[in-house]
Structure 1
């Protein structure tokens, strides 16, 4: 009887009665690349400049390996207690609740959703900066590099917000594969443009910039205080550039059950993180070779390059399209949390549960729910307004990232793995996991200090609603 209720009827339902998942390791890889490679890839040259050739390269490789390890641990915890035949954990929070218990579940939720909301606000701001950069690029090309091309990014934040209101009406994460694949292609595009422009600059006749094994020189390029703070911030930037733990379980929940989700997800993790590391290394190291110790914070929006202006414009356009998709990858878990809570609290409410089917020409049947439309629209308006009020919010997002990096990327994955695999206390694996946790906790503290310093500096010069 139970079987006939969701009767594998045309293959629409999964073994547990949920809507059938259709994702593969390819769509999983696309989701990962979309979530991980943000426009921050273009600031890695600055980070390498702070650390130098040796430490910069080591930090890049180290955090790629840490991220790969912890993502493997999370993949095996998707089904519990058995990694292949156990019950599914569809979200990160549910996974923590089932494996570690209620108290840790609350802490996980606080860290995860604070970071997700912070990232969507940050993406709104970052997309508007790239839109502004296109306008400035055309202005510089027309009137010269010394021209006053200042422009406000508030109208562009509003444009980005409107696009997100429309895209947010896509019912759930399972229907976003196409958007993630488009966004992943965009990240390849603008990272490649950054790499190409760097190579062109390196190849220029007479090109000579100052680089160093240890980066910027104390007493020449900066003070010892600035060197310390910038080193902290650079380590944090690279560590958090890899962080995608807050959406990793939700990504795995889009994968079909055959082959086993953990196998497909591990393949996605290897592909996604390898691709990410390759582009990070090229952008960071080639960017440092191109600009040396004077590397700008972002060489597409910070005008490390002025010409060819059309290529700079294309690079920024690709960033914008990528951030449109990345916003949805980070916002969908927030949407899902509130909508699930509303359905449980008011199961009889038509506002919460009733779906209307609208036929859209060339698209097909579209499912619409009144609460979903209202709530998601209000959320996008909130993130847009927050980005407008705090235009230095990237520093705040850096702090949120610092605070959530340790629990989401290292602590919960290692603790859940130790519990699920029943690893004996004080065994070599147990000691290794604990040492990894301590190391990453120190990195989090260091990066948090750097982010707080950045916020204090921003507040000193903050003038609300001023043209950039």
Structure 2
């Protein structure tokens, strides 16, 4: 495994320094503290759109399987995040994006495989495998980013409409969900003019506070409503036919995968100051403390309160006191504002790279306004045209986040050669990594099937529109 530890020449490292460090000066230096990292990670993962559907996921799985799935998802993604963070500068270079990290790891690890080839053959094989990792991450990161932003924009529009309905009760002339989605898209376009993730640090500090506020408010109102309901009438059994139960369970697995989605860890880590690894470990662990306290409590209390009748977006199940529901919805919109911005950045980075390559003297602000406007128009129109929140959450978790947050970290950790020297521990780590990669590849496939079926049913019946 020696080549994987950084002994290969620069030309074999999947692109060299020019590609590895294609990043702004502010991010290359890294100015953020571990607290800033915690803000970014918590904002990226613990969005209300991520854990508001968790009670519904538990209702689709039942208590035993639902609780086990939630605990396993937490532990696996926390360990995966630490594993990805440990690969910062693992071969002597700063990998400032997920796709460049994957490109470097899979290219370098190929050097050992092709040791007996000619120089030309070995170099070409390393190049191909390195680019396989690069495009694998690029594709799934874009799927995760776009899918996440569609889902959370629908959630933000739903929360804004809920606040609006509290103050405007008349049916005539009332604003629609689609109009609130358009308003939120215009608001996000303004924030998109900020240059990088580090410039969002104080926005994300407010968003992290809103995460805690949303969780505390939603949990409190859920428990309050749960005590008001006749407990004898709450049903916890799985609903529907056998086929319906199975597909709903598949769909729920995608929802849980979405709730732990974090396809931006290297991008966040590139903004952190030295010592980068230690600061990132502290930031990730702090963020997961917030996640565990909010996710588990809301998931369990929501399912306990409403049973199998709980709505895909937990706030839709709450009734009184109304002012606290308004407050929870406002917290949700604030938090989603920051989360949306972080997930825009991989797409914006692609635009910037192509523009910079073709136009050395381009007007940065003008071009930024053009491509951010194009992005926001596309995302907003899709969100307004197909506002199936629960279904988009599941399909995004299955197709986008499962490969990036469960499968790839395990494979990258093995490829990078970051294994214990002790033979027993080494074998155990290999077995765990391989098991995680195989198991969650299957989970992603099943969740995708369940999500696609749910979208087809919702389009056919227009159930979502009647509910709104």
Distance 1:17 1:54, change over 3 A: closer
The residue that corresponds to 1:280 in the other structure is 295
Q: Which residue of 1 aligns with 2:77?
A: 67
1:77 deviation in Å? 1.1
Q: Pairwise mapping of residues 43-58 of structure 1 onto structure 2 (< 5 A)?
A: 43-58=53-68
Matching residue of 1:438:
438
Structure 2 CA distance for aligned equivalents of residues 113 and 205 of structure 1: 43
How much is the aligned-residue C-alpha RMSD, in angstroms? 2.7
1:406 aligns with 2:435: no
The match for 2:96 is 90
Q: Is the 8 A contact 1:35 1:326 kept in 2?
A: yes
1:130 corresponds to which of 138, 143, 159: 159
Identify if the C-alpha distance between structure 1 residues 137 and 225 changes in structure 2 by more than 3 Å, giving closer, same or farther. farther
Provide TM-score, normalisation by structure 1: 0.82
Post-superposition CA distance 1:113-155 (Å, at most 9, x none): 122122222222221111112233445xx68xxx899851122
Separation (CA, whole Å) in 2 of partners of 1:17 and 1:226: 49
Aligned residues: 417
Asked if the contact 2:318/2:325 (under 8 Å) is kept, the reply is yes
Q: Take 2:54 and 2:463, find their aligned partners in 1: how far apart are those partners? A: 28
Whether 2:368 is the aligned partner of 1:379: answer: no
Query: Which position in structure 2 is the counterpart of 1:266?
Result: 281
Shift of the 53–398 alpha-carbon distance from structure 1 to 2, 3 Å rule, reads closer
**Residues 151 and 467 in structure 1, CA contact (< 8 A), matched pair in contact too:** no
Q: CA deviation at 1:419?
A: 2.2
Q: Deviations over 1:81-128 (max 9, x none)?
A: 1xxxx2100000110111111122112111111221222222222211
Gaps of 5+ in 2: 1-20, 107-129
Inter-partner Cα distance in structure 2 for 1:446 and 1:150: 40
Contact 2:253 2:394 in 1 (8 A): no
Do residues 308 (structure 1) and 321 (structure 2) align?
yes
Alpha carbons of 1:462 and 1:292: their partners in 2 closer, same or farther (altered >3 Å)?
closer
CA offset digits 1:197-247 (Å, max 9, x no partner): 122123338544435xxx424xxx422222212222222211221121x11
Residue in structure 1 matched with residue 33 of structure 2 by the alignment: 24
Q: In structure 2, do the counterparts of structure 1 residues 73 and 151 end up closer, same or farther at CA, with 3 Å as the change threshold?
A: same
How far the C-alpha of 1:270 sits from its partner, in A, is 1.4
More helix by share: 2
2:189 corresponds to 1:165: yes
Residues 203, 459 of structure 1: alpha-carbon distance in 2 compared, 3 angstrom cutoff: closer
How far apart, CA to CA, are the structure 2 residues paired with 1:205 and 1:381? Answer: 43
Contact preservation (8 Å) 2:254, 2:393: no
Distance 1:254 1:224 in 2: 49
Distance 1:461 1:286 in 2: 30
1:192 to 207, 216, 223: 216
Label 1:386 to 1:263 Cα distance change in 2 as closer, same or farther (>3 A). Answer: same
Preserved CA contact (<8 Å) 2:154 2:387: yes
Determine if contact 2:141/2:346 at 8 Å carries over to the other structure.
no
Q: Secondary structure at the match of 2:53?
A: helix
1:338 corresponds, among 334, 344, 351, to 351
Q: CA deviation at 1:17?
A: 9.7
Q: Does 1:254 align with 2:277?
A: no
Query: Cα distance, 1:293 vs. partner?
Result: 2.4
| 2:248 corresponding residue in structure 1 | 230
User: CA, structure 1 residues 431+262, in 2 after alignment: closer, same or farther (shift >3 Å)?
Assistant: same
Alpha-carbon distance between aligned partners in 2 of 1:329 and 1:97, rounded to the nearest angstrom = 22
Q: Classify 1:270/1:318 alpha carbon distance in 2 versus 1 (closer, same or farther; 3 Å).
A: same
Of 413, 420, 424, 1:417 maps to 413
Contact 1:137 1:312 in 2 (8 A): no
Whether the 8 Å contact between 1:209 and 1:292 is mirrored in structure 2 is: no
User: What is the CA–CA distance in structure 2 between the aligned matches of 1:390 and 1:292, rounded to whole Å?
Assistant: 27
1:252 Cα offset (Å) = 0.8
The counterpart of 2:205, out of the listed 151, 166, 181, is 181
The Cα offsets for residues 419-451 of structure 1, whole Å up to 9 and x where unpaired, read as 222659993322221111111111111211110
Deviation track 1:396-438 (CA, whole Å, cap 9, x = no partner) reads 4532331223321133212221222265999332222111111
Question: Deviation of residue 463 (structure 1)?
Answer: 9.9
Give the Å deviation of 1:29.
1.0
**2:439 is paired with a residue of what secondary structure?**
helix
Normalising to structure 2: TM-score of the pair?
0.82
Query: Structure 2: how far apart are the matches of 1:466 and 1:236?
Result: 24
CA separation of 1:234 and 1:127: change in aligned 2, threshold 3 A: same
Give 3-state SS (helix, strand or coil) of 2:237's partner: coil
